[in-house]
Amino acid sequence: MLSSYRQIFAAPGSLAFSASGLIARLPISMTGIGIVTMLSEMRGTFWLGSALSATLAVAAAVLGPWVSRLVDRHGQRRVALPATLVTVLSAAALLLGARTGAPDWTLFLFAAGMGAMPSTGSMVRARWAHLYRDEPPKLHTAYSFEAVADELCFIVGPILAVALATTVFPESGVLLAGVFLVVGILLFTAQRRTEPPVHPAARHTGGSAIANRGLQTLVLTLVATGGVFGSVEVVTVAFAKAQGHTGASGPVLAVYAAGSCLAGVVFGTLKLAGPMARRFLVGVTAMAVSMVPLVLAAQLLRGNAALIGVGAALFLSGLAISPTLITAMALVERLVPAARLTEGMTWTTTGLAIGVAVGSSVAGLVVDGAGAIDGYWVPVAAAAFGALAAYIGLPRLRQQLAAAETPAAAEPVAS
């Protein structure tokens, strides 16, 4: 198994850009929860921090693809460094404003400015695509490794941000996220020899990668997938509290991420055959079906047995996550030409971010209105919608893949 991963890091500079990219990605999982915890510690309320976190998520969804389009047109270093500067200055202003009691409306402006954070995960995957575009097995393993790295970020980042904000000083979680971003981006952009060259067509393409109907299908499905993530997190915290063990929610959610990590590691070593679009449909369908044991465990069990049952069900459902996301990234690489690859990959993470925001909000409303047990129907509904969207969009996805594989397909088909 390990030999597959050793092969991808045999390329000079590959370990350096992947490791530095991992550091630069940690802030994605730290900033939102860090802001919520910071304001709750400072002011004893959650509403302002939650609203600022939602503002950050919306701003990232709007600005992220635009920043990545600039990366495709002008290069990673030329765009990532200024975007990081805007992000860090906005974060510093937010921390200073929160500490000095600035008007709340100014904090929303600063949170929106933080949405300019460059999509390091997309830039890392663009480098892997540049290295192994002609070696699909190695590219598959590289995407699998990055999916596991993403999961590790979302396991470690929130725990670190909350622990610092509650034990050191309230701003420390967001502050460290800013340090990680600066250090990671500086190290990442210093790796010049592995930076993909700007494609000649990139500076002359006026449209967006999202015009590709196959990519639209992927993004819509991933919005639903993000809805699963966001709602599972909120409902699990509420469910653990209802069972009298609020602190158990962290380990239970860690088990969910562990299932995805394990699946990603194994998936990266497999030599897969068959149409990639069908593989994506199978993954999304498996994710939907795996939600059923989760509802059953919540409905039928109580106390410690309920938490153990929910944890086991989440582990099983987590096994479908990484393979689905890995396949989605591989499909983007097939659908979108090199001139728009970073933007195309950023659209997928934007879809996930939108889904997380919507899923967590809907789950909170359901939990408040009907209770934590019924709250688990929210991720079930989101997963079912994702499977339905993938099934309905499968013909379009296949059509766009066929068009992209023709010699004349220099640009995505936007029919």
Residue 47: count of CB within 10 angstroms of its CB: 11
At 206 the pLDDT is 58
At 212 the pLDDT is 83
Both structure tokens of 39: 């304001």
pLDDT band at 406 (very low <50, low <70, confident <90, very high): low
Asked if 223 and 173 sit in the same domain, the reply is: no
10: in domain: no
Tell me which of 171, 196, 221 is where a domain ends.
196
Asked if 275 and 353 sit in the same domain, the reply is: yes
412: in domain: no
Q: Is the pLDDT of residue 247 over 80?
A: no
Q: Is the pLDDT of residue 414 over 70?
A: no
Asked if 117 and 222 sit in the same domain, the reply is: no
Segments forming the whole domain that contains residue 160: 15-196
Distance of CA 144 to CAs 194, 232, 347, Å? 19, 23, 19
Burial zone of 206 (CB within 10 Å; 0-12 exposed, 13-18 middle, 19+ buried): exposed
At 270 the pLDDT is 77
Residue 222 and residue 193: Cα distance in Å, rounded?
Answer: 32
Q: Which residue has the higher pLDDT, 45 or 335?
A: 335
Most confidently predicted of 118-127, 182-191, 267-276: 182-191
294: in domain: yes
Q: Which residue has the higher pLDDT, 67 or 409?
A: 67
Q: What percent of the chain has pLDDT over 90?
A: 32
Report which residue type is found at 375.
G
pLDDT band at 72 (very low <50, low <70, confident <90, very high): confident
Asked if 360 and 387 sit in the same domain, the reply is: yes
Residue 398 and residue 394: Cα distance in Å, rounded?
Answer: 6
At 200 the pLDDT is 65
Asked if 21 and 119 sit in the same domain, the reply is: yes
Asked if 252 and 395 sit in the same domain, the reply is: yes
Q: Is the pLDDT of residue 153 over 70?
A: yes
Tell me which of 135, 165, 196 is where a domain ends.
196
Q: Is the pLDDT of residue 219 over 50?
A: yes
Asked if 244 and 386 sit in the same domain, the reply is: yes
361: in domain: yes
3-state secondary structure of 301: coil
Q: Is the pLDDT of residue 411 over 60?
A: no
204: in domain: no
Q: Is the pLDDT of residue 377 over 50?
A: yes
Q: What does pTM read for this prediction?
A: 0.79
Report which residue type is found at 277.
A
Per-residue pLDDT tens over the stretch 82-102:
999 999 999 999 999 999 989
Per-residue pLDDT tens over the stretch 285-323:
999 999 999 999 988 888 788 889 998 999 999 898 888
243: in domain: yes
Q: Which residue has the higher pLDDT, 202 or 375?
A: 375
Q: Is the pLDDT of residue 168 over 70?
A: yes
Q: Is the pLDDT of residue 119 over 50?
A: yes
Q: Is the dihedral of CA 87, 93, 94, 99 positive or negative?
A: positive
Distance of CA 288 to CAs 4, 30, 251, 330, Å? 30, 28, 23, 21
Q: Is the pLDDT of residue 344 over 80?
A: yes
Q: What percent of the chain has pLDDT over 70?
A: 94
Q: Is the dihedral of CA 167, 26, 24, 15 positive or negative?
A: positive
Q: What is the mean pLDDT of residues 338-351?
A: 83
Distance of CA 218 to CAs 131, 181, 346, 347, Å? 24, 28, 12, 9
Asked if 231 and 181 sit in the same domain, the reply is: no
Q: How much is the CA Rg of the chain, to the nearest whole Å?
A: 21
Q: Is the pLDDT of residue 32 over 50?
A: yes
At 46 the pLDDT is 66
Q: In terms of residues, how long is the chain? A: 415
Q: What is the mean pLDDT of residues 51-61?
A: 84
411: in domain: no
Residue labelled with tokens 């290295």: 131
Q: Is the pLDDT of residue 201 over 70?
A: no
401: in domain: yes
Residue 45 and residue 149: Cα distance in Å, rounded?
Answer: 33
Domain count, the chain: 2
Asked if 191 and 120 sit in the same domain, the reply is: yes
Please name the residues in contact with 392: beta carbons below 8 A apart, sequence gap of 6 or more.
none
Residue 153 backbone zone (phi > 0: left; psi -120 to 50: alpha; other: beta): alpha
Tell me which of 162, 196, 230 is where a domain ends.
196
At 203 the pLDDT is 58
Distance of CA 200 to CAs 123, 260, 339, 396, 410, Å? 18, 38, 7, 28, 11
CATH code where residue 174 lies: 1.20.1250.20
Residue 97 and residue 100: Cα distance in Å, rounded?
Answer: 5
Residue 300 and residue 373: Cα distance in Å, rounded?
Answer: 10
Asked if 187 and 220 sit in the same domain, the reply is: no
- Indicate the average pLDDT of the chain: 85
Asked if 59 and 166 sit in the same domain, the reply is: yes
Q: Which residue has the higher pLDDT, 81 or 64?
A: 81
**C-beta of residue 132 within 8 angstroms of C-beta of residue 142:** yes
Asked if 319 and 398 sit in the same domain, the reply is: yes
